């Protein structure tokens, strides 16, 4: 009988009844998760690998015999599952915004100046952390158990990679119970990355298997995390660090540093270099020190991230179209290399802007082979005296966009050639001009194929009309064959025209026609964004759609009225007005409407709102609202909000610390309300 018992009196799984198996599975799951936490988070293992493997094997045997007892946080779920056919989409409750970049100490100082001015403070506490070079993800927990995870995607919708994320051993499948309560619903954001050692080992395995090596750890991590077969992901030792929140229910802390401590308490892996800095001078010192330490780290970073520590201040500062005003990415000095310019050509964008691009003798920079680099504009070419045939220093600006930094004049060959942007468009031979006050040259031919193609590609893109199957190669064919001469022509296409194109099957043609038809039901903001109005991105498209309700209403408004819209400044307002002045643009909109593309939002109820026609500015610390929720309430009741005090403003809602806005309101005789008075006016008591 002795062979049936282990030293701790455990029954082998074949002899256990269901109740005992359930109890043992729960015990093993909790025990193994604790060992994972000690190994991957605390870096302080208390058992050997062999002992851990024996416990895991016992758990797997029990789960095989009693599959209905598998716990959602079981370590056995980290080994991967059979392949998926595709990733489903997963929408973020709160957008995962991008960050503004600071390329120098001066730009960090400018950021601090803007923040202090907006908050009317002499000094700000910031939290600074390494900017990991990996893949952004969001993790979702309910009652402390991991239920789903996704990529950042476009910031609004990502890919559901839950199965792959479960394979990351440092990612907790169940949060730790301790003195800090676990929110019933919790979203956190972080970065998945690969260490240098794991990257080198992966590439060695790739080469042995006669597969291509990865260019750098970031590509390796991203490629590993987006495998449809999660067993491949599980075979690669990916890491994750958590650094931000999404939606969290029934939980509140006052600062980012407190939130970071909460992450640690719950068992999340957090980078050990989070630092609280008292003022921008401390931020710059930390940034420069981390840049000096960059090569000694076991993982790649490309800068630092600086965030205002106080959450109330973050709410007060708010967000721009795609980035928060309370955070900035400080980029390290770009990695550089020397190569030669083989030729220079003019690239034409969708707005007609012409950008000179250098074709280079290919050179590796930071793990990526660079063969082309921007020269920005003619002024930059002249200032740097860049010529065809020159030896130049090339860098990946912010470790991303290649650009020519300078010419190595002492190595200049005798046969170099001066370059000038041509007077005729290289695509259509149209007239090229440089507008007053502009650094760019523009092709003036609105029928230029490069512009048509670019505008169509923008119009059909995922964050615009989202016409699936309309890739750049298809757009090239349709424009080159003459089937598309404008955006509106998309809605005149036939299945026969599509089916007659190269490599276009009948089924694919039918699918595209269905996607085109479905786009006629697109939301108004998508159409506004798709029109490509200069300086009007996705966020402002939503702002305009919510305020005006139709393209017709927007086209009939004035620049002055537009400027009264929250987040719309004079440059954007002028751009919108000028766009709708153009006869060709009006014809395009009419044509789209004739094809059934005229989305509208019923805003009539707002005309009946108790705040209709009134404008508000909020300043100081508010108890019941943050800036976004206050703005949404005002606009839902027919009112408008702005960021600064002027004679056009009806009310300033002032909390403690209102400062200069309060002084200016009193000077301009703008009525000042307390938060309680505002709540009473809005019926929000």
Active site residues: 131
- Long-range contacts, 417-423 (Cβ 8 Å, 24+): 417/387, 417/388, 417/389, 418/387, 419/344, 419/356, 419/381, 419/386, 419/387, 419/388, 420/378, 421/346, 421/354, 421/356, 421/377, 421/378, 422/346
Q: Give 49-98 as a DSSP string.
A: HHHHHHHHHHHHHHHHH-GGG--TT-GGGGG--SPPSSPPEEE-SS----
- Long-range contacts, 230-233 (Cβ 8 Å, 24+): 230/80, 230/81, 230/83, 230/84, 230/163, 230/164, 230/166, 230/167, 231/79, 231/80, 231/81, 231/82, 231/83, 232/80, 233/80, 233/164, 233/167
Between CA 674 and CA 659 the distance in angstroms is 14
Q: What is the DSSP letter of 39?
A: I
369 in helix, strand or coil?
strand
Q: Which of 441, 503, 443, 500 is nearest to 473 (CA)?
A: 503
Between CA 24 and CA 450 the distance in angstroms is 66
Between CA 318 and CA 305 the distance in angstroms is 17
Q: Which of 151, 225, 140 is nearest to 188 (CA)?
A: 140
First-to-last C-alpha distance (Å) of the chain: 73
């Amino acid at each position: 009988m002795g062979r049936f018992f282990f030293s701790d009196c455990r029954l082998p799984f074949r002899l256990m009844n269901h109740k005992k198996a359930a109890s043992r599975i729960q015990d093993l799951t909790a025990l193994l998760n604790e060992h994972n936490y000690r190994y991957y988070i605390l870096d302080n293992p208390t058992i050997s690998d062999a002992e851990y493997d024996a416990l895991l094997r016992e758990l797997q045997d029990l789960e095989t015999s009693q599959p209905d007892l598998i716990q959602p946080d079981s370590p056995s779920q980290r080994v991967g599952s059979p392949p998926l056919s595709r990733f489903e989409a997963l929408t973020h409750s709160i957008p995962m915004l991008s960050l503004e970049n600071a390329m120098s100490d001066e730009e960090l100082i400018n950021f601090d100046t803007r923040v202090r001015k907006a908050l009317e403070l002499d000094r700000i506490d910031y939290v600074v952390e390494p900017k990991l070079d990996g893949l952004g993800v969001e993790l979702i927990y309910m009652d402390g158990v991991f239920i789903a995870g996704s990529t950042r995607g476009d910031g609004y919708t990502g890919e559901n990679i839950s199965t792959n994320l479960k394979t990351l051993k440092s990612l907790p499948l169940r949060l730790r119970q301790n003195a800090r309560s676990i929110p019933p619903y919790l979203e956190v954001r972080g970065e998945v990355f690969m260490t240098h050692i794991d990257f080198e080992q992966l590439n060695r395995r790739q080469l042995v298997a006669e597969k291509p090596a990865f260019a750098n750890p970031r590509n390796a991590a991203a490629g590993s995390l987006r495998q449809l077969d999660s067993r491949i992901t599980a075979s690669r030792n990916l890491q994750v660090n958590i650094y931000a929140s999404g939606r969290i229910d029934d939980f509140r802390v006052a600062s980012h540093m407190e939130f970071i401590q909460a992450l640690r308490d719950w068992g999340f892996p957090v980078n050990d270099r989070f630092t609280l800095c008292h003022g921008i001078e401390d931020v710059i010192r930390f940034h420069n020190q981390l840049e000096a330490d960059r090569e000694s780290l076991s993982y790649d970073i490309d800068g630092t991230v600086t965030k205002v520590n106080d959450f109330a201040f973050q709410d007060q500062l708010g967000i721009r179209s795609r980035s928060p005003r309370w955070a900035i990415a400080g980029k390290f000095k770009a990695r550089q290399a020397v190569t030669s310019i083989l030729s220079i050509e003019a690239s034409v964008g969708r707005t007609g802007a012409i950008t000179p691009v250098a074709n280079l003798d290919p050179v590796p920079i930071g793990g990526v082979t660079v063969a082309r680099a921007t020269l920005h504009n003619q002024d930059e070419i002249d200032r740097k005296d860049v010529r065809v045939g020159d030896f130049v220093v090339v860098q990946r600006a912010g470790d991303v966009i290649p650009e020519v930094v300078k010419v190595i004049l002492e190595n200049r060959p005798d046969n170099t050639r001066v370059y000038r942007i041509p007077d005729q468009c290289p695509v259509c031979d149209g007239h090229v001009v440089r507008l007053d006050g502009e650094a760019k040259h523009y092709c003036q031919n609105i029928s230029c194929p490069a512009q048509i193609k670019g505008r169509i590609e923008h119009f059909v893109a995922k964050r615009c009309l989202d016409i699936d199957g309309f890739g750049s190669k298809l757009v090239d064919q349709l424009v080159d064959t003459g089937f598309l001469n404008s955006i509106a022509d998309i809605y005149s296409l036939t299945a026969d025209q599509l089916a007659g194109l190269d490599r276009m099957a009948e089924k694919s043609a039918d699918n595209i026609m269905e996607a085109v038809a479905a786009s006629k039901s697109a939301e108004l903001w998508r159409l506004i964004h798709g029109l490509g109005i200069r300086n009007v991105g996705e966020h402002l498209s939503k702002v305009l759609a919510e305020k005006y309700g139709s393209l017709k209403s927007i086209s009939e408004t004035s620049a002055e009225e537009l400027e009264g819209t929250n987040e719309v400044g004079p440059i954007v307002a002028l751009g919108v007005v000028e766009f709708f002045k153009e006869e060709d643009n009006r014809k395009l909109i009419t044509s789209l409407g004739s094809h059934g593309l005229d989305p509208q939002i019923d805003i009539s109820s707002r005309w009946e709102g108790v705040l209709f026609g009134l404008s508000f500015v909020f300043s100081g610390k508010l108890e019941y609202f943050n800036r976004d929720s206050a703005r949404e309430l005002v606009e839902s009741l027919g009112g408008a909000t702005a960021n600064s005090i002027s004679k056009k403003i009806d009310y300033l809602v002032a909390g403690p610390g209102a400062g200069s806005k309060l002084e200016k309101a009193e000077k301009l005789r703008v009525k000042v309300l307390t938060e309680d008075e505002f709540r009473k006016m809005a019926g929000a008591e």
